[in-house]
Amino acid sequence: MKEYRTFWIALIVMALLSPLGLVLPRIMKAGSAWGEWGVDEVKRMVGYAPAGMEKTAGLWNAPIRDYTLPGQAGASLSRVSLSYILSGLIGIALCAGGGYLFARRVTGRQRKGRT
């Protein structure tokens, strides 16, 4: 686990910095975070929405919509930033856990002490 220490530190730092995508556009009065536009925002910015985007927009609903916890619509920037960080940490934990379980399954490794 020690050989991955730098990797884990980098992931945690990125999770802690994730609210910058939310904070900087507000500070610079740039609208919403870059690249996180919905179909309506793209129509407003460009004048139309690509057909593929409109067709597939409803296929996936994120488990933590807009990276905020339920009931925090209109919350303060600091509270929403905390939700961004929590969302990032949950995502890291789920991906790491899934990757670990997948690797154990594929390699056929068992816990120490078992054969």
CA atoms of 46 and 60, how far apart (whole Å): 23
Among residues 59, 112, 69, 60, the alpha carbon closest in space to that of 89 is found at 69
Domain spans in the chain, listed from the N-terminal domain onward:
2-107
pTM above 0.75, yes or no: no
Among residues 19, 61, 20, 64, the alpha carbon closest in space to that of 38 is found at 61
CA atoms of 89 and 92, how far apart (whole Å): 5
CA atoms of 39 and 7, how far apart (whole Å): 35
According to DSSP H, which parts of the chain are helical? 5-17, 20-27, 39-46, 51-56, 77-107
As averages over each run of 10 residues, the pLDDT of the chain (115 residues) reads 86 88 79 77 90 87 72 77 85 92 85 55
Q: What is the predicted pLDDT for the residue at 101?
A: 94
